[in-house]
Chains A and B, each alone.
Chain A
């Protein structure tokens, strides 16, 4: 998929608006739909609802907006930040700095305040009773807790957060209708909560209006909102995708950030996967650990079902022995990895692309696995169903690779597209007639020349064999013969290699002038437009290539060939995709491919990566 960037991509730049408005007090250059809000609160105080209301109300107005939840590994009390960015240019990265800082949390108050650029607007809860010593910033206080307690003494702490929603709405000019819609969506069906929170937001708005003598230069302005669009987390999109992919067994073990994927499947099953007589067409089981979860997927795939589990890096480590057995015994199955920072507990609530090379070669001995890498919520849905087709077609375990940023934050979609092809159940022999039509059938015999053999299912009575990890010949009979083992491994290599051109091709946005190609994948999609624009400010002509699957499609190598220099851009320390490319691409291409890789647990900030790219290019 190659798209020429000149039309599609540049329009973001053209739509950036700087409008002159005459204010009541003084003339001021208004900055429309281009700002970053940072909300500092404590975990477990209900601030997630307030933040999502700000996000959704702007989204309702058609303002291009994105939200990032930076939360700790904790249920209550530790600091959490929420970043909301509005950008008519469609930028979704967290942004370079903060334009509006909201201070609610005593514990991070001083540090948050110290880090602000001069001129930042600071909205703070006066009732926290912390010093606000920044004369170079705009300081706007409000007794949020006191006001909230007046409405409801018991829920004061939770409702206090709604006052900053009112304050932000006042400063930016967020429409009341939009706020009301967002509140109703947030507290669906809970009328009392809707009423209470709207009252608090209105009071916050009124207080700001009456007490703050300040004309905010940042404003929101309605855009034509595509009525089809909505925001959704990547994990829920994958869950829905898997339901439309005919998942018949989900086994899972709770681990952040993948639990919400399993829980979404559980939530949607009653509505979408009932057999008409009240029976579910998908079994869900909470396993005793990740080893068992993987084993259950293996059992389901072996018996002819569509089994899936979801986990994060530590879970993949535990599943690795089974992953090798999937590969060697050639049983289909699906494992989603929602990547968080490792190792072990690592930073369990922070994002990273640090599992890629582990997935590609997980387990002992010679292995290689298919990995699907969505970069948008639409692809989360699409790969969510397609992954089962790949698993059954290639008779192997297929990974979906997601990360916390894409999985647990909300992203825009225009609605999910129904699968465009029927389920591909792969080469399964289901009757004696089918069996008779295959010349020289053997469970592991490559009769079609594509590396994929035919299989039969338990219960069918057709060519029963004992599946195992030990060596087996083409008929599935135990063998430790050196040539038999060698040939089996060569066929497996051929089988997975053969998948390359069937897997999702890279998405390429290409310039006519081939100065620089940037190869990236997954959630970096949300920062790449901004990185690209920053690089082009330096006069470079930049094309981008988003990898969507391993093993790599030939389109990636062609992309490298067409460009003078190529950067492989990743959210990890060592450049894991770069390592795979260096190993697999022809030696003559390697000198013009360079790695830029950085990970600190934060969603990728465009400036960090564009600066690093420029630095690498300067050093060449």
Chain B
């Protein structure tokens, strides 16, 4: 018998079309983790809006959650389209996928402002350090000294999207690796349970243009240099007992908006995810050591979202009837007579 989730849906209800990315692409693993996370969390597929920009990563919404509406928008401008949709329908769950080119270069302005507004969305960057669809140019997240398959090593300083997000006060910041199934699924599940901007930077090797060992974002390099902050377990609010066992060592629990919990089992040095300075320090130290720090870097559940601050109607605006959207004839008479006096 097939396994069903809390909505009594099979996992196949969360799958999408066949991927047209290169065989072995890290992005396809992330799509699988998204499917797994959405299914396990029991999210109604029709309430999800899949958003993306342009690039290899941004094609992936075609490959998961086929029962959800989605919008593959323009290059770097997915956040603004998401903003407009969110303002008129805050009842939707926005799940966005972007890439390092789409977010860290052409779209960096919109990325910054979506964070600043604490837009209620999950924002995943599938980060491989190269522009894949245009055949392997460096992106702005590639590390200094990292070298793709062809050409010379990159000499420019990278943009670290997690550090940037933390500096901007993003309410949920995490980094993961497309090869770390358990960690990534737990982080996506937690991001889906968060209210506000949940940003996950996922290192996702480009098997065609940058999977050579001199590339800091290749499978071999990341596996050897992944500095995992903690083991993550997601405990859902609807079945808190079944999912995990209490670990023997030290752990912290992060309470999420929908009542679920993210359990962090400390591995090495303590990491205080509520402290931006500590999070930035972890990022910079690992960068210095030419390593990748992964896990929940920063979390703050006390930031109002974009719709909170606008004083909007409780009802999503798209559900309002015409009598609320169009003021009465009397009101126009009042407007006119106000000008006349």
Chain A interface (Cβ < 8 Å from any Cβ of B): 227-230, 232, 240, 243-246, 248-249, 251, 268, 271-273, 275, 277-285, 287-289, 291-307, 321-322, 325, 329, 385, 415-416, 418-419, 422-423, 456-461, 464-470, 478
Contact = CB atoms under 8 A, between A and B. Distances in A.
Interface in B76-99: 77, 79-89, 91-92
Contact of A465 (B45, B69, B83): B69
Given A291-B77, A459-B49, A464-B69, A244 B327 contact: yes
Contact of B80 (A229, A295, A467): A295
A259 B46 CA distance: 38
Interface in B32-67: 44-47, 49-50, 61-62, 66-67
Given A280-B310, A460-B46, A296 B83 contact: yes
Given A230-B339, A273-B327, A466-B62, A249 B317 contact: yes
Nearest to A299: B84
A248 B88 contact: yes
Interface stretch (B255-263, B278-286, B318-326): B318-326
Given A277-B313, A283-B310, A458 B69 contact: yes
A296 B85 CA distance: 7
Given A292-B80, A459-B92, A279 B311 contact: yes
B73 A464 contact: no
Given A279-B313, A292-B113, A295-B110, A459 B69 contact: yes
Closest 9 CB pairs of A and B: A299-B84, A295-B80, A305-B88, A461-B46, A246-B325, A279-B313, A296-B84, A458-B69, A415-B336
B331 interface: yes
B70 A302 contact: no
B92 A303 contact: yes
Contacts of B250: none
Given A249-B87, A296-B87, A304-B89, 14 more contacts: A248-B318, A275-B314, A277-B313, A279-B311, A279-B313, A287-B80, A288-B110, A292-B83, A303-B88, A307-B88, A325-B74, A460-B46, A464-B70, A466-B72
Contacts of A288: 109-110, 112-113
A243 B61 CA distance: 35
B48 to A, nearest CB: 9
Contacts of A321: 74, 77
B313 A467 contact: no
B71 interface: yes
A334 to B, nearest CB: 12
Contacts of B84: 249, 251, 295-303, 305, 307
Given A281-B317, A304-B89, A467-B72, A299 B310 contact: no
Contact of A468 (B71, B310, B311, B340): B71
Nearest to B322: A423
Contacts of B47: 459
Nearest to B47: A459
A229 B337 CA distance: 10
B329 interface: yes
Given A246-B326, A423-B325, A464-B66, A302 B87 contact: no
15 contacts: A229-B340, A246-B325, A248-B88, A271-B331, A272-B331, A277-B314, A287-B113, A292-B109, A296-B83, A302-B71, A304-B318, A458-B85, A459-B46, A464-B69, A467-B70
B318 A292 contact: no
A283 B67 contact: no
B336 to A, nearest CB: 4
B81 A299 contact: yes
Interface of B: 44-47, 49-50, 61-62, 66-74, 77, 79-89, 91-92, 109-110, 112-113, 117, 306-307, 310-315, 317-318, 320, 322, 324-327, 329, 331-332, 335-336, 339-340
A304 B316 CA distance: 11
Which of B86, B92, B325, B332 is most buried by chain A, counting CB atoms within 10 A of its CB? Answer: B325
Contacts of B50: 466
Nearest to B54: A469
A599 B87 CA distance: 40
B133 to A, nearest CB: 12
A419 B326 contact: yes
B109 A289 contact: yes
B235 to A, nearest CB: 28
Contacts of A385: 326
A416 B80 contact: no
Contacts of A423: 322, 325-326
Contacts of B331: 271-272
Contacts of B320: 248, 275, 281
Contacts of A416: 332, 335-336
A322 B77 contact: yes
Contacts of A422: 322
B326 A280 contact: no
A464 B46 contact: yes
A244 B318 contact: no
A305 B69 CA distance: 16
